[in-house]
Amino acid sequence: QLQLQESGPGLVKPSETLSLTCNVSGGSMSSNSYYWGWIRQPPGKGLEWIGSIYRSGTTFHNPSLTSRVTMSLDTSNNQFSLKLTSVTAADTAVYFCASLPHFWGQGTLITVSS
């Protein structure tokens, strides 16, 4: 049973870069069984897929965010990461990491404000 836990700054200033890390436990990130994703949910709204990264390191991003998103995988440390550049208030959301579709982190609220 995989367990995932997001870690991040909580508060980010407009125009800066948001960096999040997801720590994975309870299984090997090198397994073919899993692919890793980031999803966000603005307050009171629905779920939005941000992007996914595969064991090979190949990434796929939401077309609406692709120019601002970078994802990376660090299997030796059982973690993967998200960077979102040039953030605005519209990026305020709970950010989830997941091994889609089965296992999700609890989510972390990121607020963009000066």
Q: Kindly list the residues in this chain that would bind other proteins in the complex (CB under 8 A).
A: 37, 39, 46-49, 52, 60-63, 96, 100-102, 104-107
Q: Which is nearer to other proteins, 62 or 75 (CB)?
A: 62
Q: Which is nearer to other proteins, 16 or 59 (CB)?
A: 59
Least distance to other proteins, CB of residue 32, Å:
15
Query: How distant is the alpha carbon of residue 60 from its chain centre?
Result: 12
CB 37 within 8 A of CB 52: yes
